[in-house]
Each structure stands twice: as C-alpha cells, then as structure tokens.
C-alpha cells in the first residue's frame, strides 16, 4: 500500500493511525529523510513514532554522501520484502514522486555509480555557462532525455549526462517494467488554504525546535552547503541565513513560500485524475473508510476485519 500527497497534508499521521489497527511497517519515500542527523528540517518521524511502528529507509546515509534513486529502490524493495515475510503490511509513505514511482511502477533504473569528478566538472560548467548550456549539452547526446527534464533541474540533468557518458546507454532508454506488487495507492488531499496554514505552522515549529542549530551542526560536521542534503527546502534558506546573506525573517518567509510552491508541484506528480490513486479528503474521510478499502484489497471480510482491528 502507498500513501501519497503533498507535503504537510497528513500522510505520516494517517500511516500511523492505520498501523494502530493493522500489523504494518512504514517505508519512507522521502528523499531527505534518508540523511542521518537531519531530523527537524525533514519532518522525520520521532523516536516515539519509530518505536510504535517500524520505519525503514530513514537515516541510511551520511549527509556528505550521495544517495541515488536506484539505491532508494533497493532499500525499499528490501524493506517491503522483509515486512511481507513477517506477515505485516508494507506502507510506502511519502511525497517524493520519483521515489514512489520507482517502487509502485517498477521502474528500471541505471546502475551507474556516481562519479564525483565528472559531477564536479558538470556543476562548474553549469555555474560558469548557465543551466541552459548544460541542458544543451544533454540534448546533444540524448535529445529525448533533454525533452523530458527541465533545465532548472540541474541535479537531474547532471545525472542523465553522467549515465550516458559512463554507461554508453541513453538515459531515455530506461523504461518501466511490470510492477512487482499489487499496490493500493491512497492520495491524501485537503483544501489549498488549509494546507498552506499547516505548512506555515510546521515551519514555525521547525524553527522553534532548532532548525538553525541543526543546519549549523551539519555544516560544522563537514557537510558542505552545496551537498544535496543541505540543498532541500528549509536547509538552503538556513544556510543563507547563517552566511549572513539574508535575515531570519526573510529566510522563514522564503521557506514558507517555496514550500507552498513545492506542494503545488507535488500535485503534478500525483495527479488528481490518476485513476490508480484513490484520493481522500483528509478532513472528510474517517479511518473506517480507509480500513475498508484496505481489507477489500486484501480480500478479507470487511465487517469482521474492522471489528477485529478495534
């Protein structure tokens, strides 16, 4: 089962509530929760929540290191198979569209290890000549991939060039296989203004909980601000604040604004008209309705199963 939707919509809360009624384990599909010691800015599950329900694919890599989509897929498959072997329901939970699709759709991914030297050269190329020039460089060797990747997504453009140059295979030639699992995908949604308020409250809470100090510790521990771990929402604004490039009020306003924008983008990954996703309003759907969907997919008698789960 997968639970998807925009950031701060309530996916993790729903997963925990489901796990209170079913033997389940949670597999995080969040591209930032994989990093150790970055807890506040990634809205990572608390230690208490991790004790209540087993969580997987969090804290698996040092913030200074790379972590590819293929590595995530391997970790997720391993966690899912482990949960199934223990007779538990795997819950894939997160808002990183590529991560979810890699597992749910069974994407074939290039097993090309990161090349730090090549990546450094390409990053310097983008800084010196611009992201459009880097995108044209990709278009020259794999025009189909270039047509699918936004020039502003520098990390993705670099990865595509890296795969082509290291493997000799077009990045665009990697395609979808048959999914490994029969997945019930639930999309969680709520009104736009309500979602924005939840995002803003979460950002304020993250600042109160120590996001500034968490960012400072990461930098002082040797994680360069240019690393992907510190390039995500919240951290990049804190990096700018700590470098005296912006004041704290501006940093907080930017985090909120950019997170609102990110939430809108997530709806393009998880489309409301996607018939494979069962969309539920977070405020208008009760837990029994969701458990009923799950039990029907599992082929169990609904009424008896609901009573047994109470």
Last residue of a domain, one of 124, 142, 173: 173
Q: At 300, is the pLDDT very low, low, confident or very high (cuts 50, 70, 90)?
A: low
Angle (nearest 5°) at CA 66 between 64 and 70: 155
159 shares a domain with 204: no
pLDDT above 60 for 60: yes
79 shares a domain with 224: yes
pTM of the full predicted structure? 0.85
Burial of 38 (0-12, 13-18, 19+ CB in 10 A): buried
CATH number at residue 155: 1.10.20.140
CATH number at residue 46: 3.40.50.300
Give the domain extent around 128.
116-173
pLDDT above 50 for 38: yes
Mean pLDDT rounded to a whole number for the chain = 92
pLDDT above 60 for 287: yes
DSSP string, 104-157: HTTB--------HHHHHHHHHHHHHH-HHHHHHHHHHH-HHHHHHS-TT-HHHH
Last residue of a domain, one of 173, 188, 221: 173
CA separation for the pair 78, 91 (Å, rounded): 13
H/E element, 227: none
* DSSP conformation class of 203: H
76 shares a domain with 35: yes
* DSSP conformation class of 186: E
The neighbouring-strand residues paired with 56 are 27
CA separation for the pair 287, 268 (Å, rounded): 26
205 shares a domain with 277: yes
Which tokens belong to 173?
């030639």
Q: Is 43 helix (H, G, I), strand (E, B) or coil?
A: coil
289 shares a domain with 185: yes
Which tokens belong to 69?
């989509």
Domain count, the chain: 2
pLDDT above 50 for 302: no
Last residue of a domain, one of 173, 191, 219: 173
138 shares a domain with 185: no
Which tokens belong to 119?
């990546």
Orientation angle between helical segments 154-167 and 131-141, nearest 10 degrees: 30
261 shares a domain with 223: yes
pLDDT above 70 for 303: no
H/E element, 201: helix 192-209
229 shares a domain with 103: yes
Do residues 122 and 161 lie in contact, with contact meaning Cβ atoms separated by under 8 Å? yes
155 shares a domain with 292: no
126 shares a domain with 83: no
Q: What does the pLDDT look like over 254-284, one tens digit per residue?
A: 999 999 999 999 998 898 889 999 999 998 8
E strand spans, 163-274? 185-189
pLDDT above 80 for 183: yes
Q: How far is CA 218 from the centre of its chain?
A: 20
105 shares a domain with 202: yes
151 shares a domain with 190: no
Sign of CA dihedral 244, 248, 252, 253: negative
The neighbouring-strand residues paired with 27 are 56, 92
């Amino acid at each position: 089962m997968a639970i998807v939707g925009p950031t701060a919509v309530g996916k993790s809360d729903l997963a925990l509530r489901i796990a209170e009624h079913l033997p389940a384990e949670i597999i995080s599909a969040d591209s930032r929760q994989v990093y150790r010691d970055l807890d506040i800015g990634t809205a990572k599950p608390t230690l208490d929540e991790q004790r209540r329900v087993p969580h997987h694919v969090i804290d698996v890599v040092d913030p200074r290191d790379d972590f590819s989509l293929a590595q995530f897929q391997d970790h997720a498959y391993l966690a899912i198979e482990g949960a199934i072997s223990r007779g538990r329901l795997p819950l894939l939970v997160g808002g990183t569209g590529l991560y979810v699709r890699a597992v749910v759709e069974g994407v074939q991914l290039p097993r090309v290890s990161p090349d730090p030297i090549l990546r450094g050269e390409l990053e310097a190329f983008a800084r010196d000549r611009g992201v459009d020039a880097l995108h044209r460089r990709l278009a020259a060797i794999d025009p189909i991939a270039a047509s699918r990747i936004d020039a502003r997504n520098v990390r993705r453009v670099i990865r595509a060039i890296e795969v082509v140059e290291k493997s000799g295979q077009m990045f665009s030639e990697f395609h979808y296989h048959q999914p490994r699992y029969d997945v019930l995908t639930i999309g969680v949604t709520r009104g736009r203004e309500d979602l924005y308020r939840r995002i803003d409250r979460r950002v304020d809470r993250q600042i109160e909980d120590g996001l500034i100090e968490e960012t400072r510790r990461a930098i002082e521990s040797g994680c360069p601000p240019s690393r992907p771990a510190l390039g995500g929402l919240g951290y990049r604004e804190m990096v700018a604040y700590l470098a005296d490039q912006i004041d704290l009020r501006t940093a907080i306003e930017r985090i909120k604004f950019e997170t609102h924008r990110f939430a809108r983008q997530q709806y393009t990954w998880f489309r409301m008209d996607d018939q494979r996703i069962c969309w539920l309003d977070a405020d208008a759907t009760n837990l029994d309705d969701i458990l009923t969907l799950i039990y029907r997919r599992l082929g169990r008698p609904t009424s008896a199963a609901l009573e047994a789960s109470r």
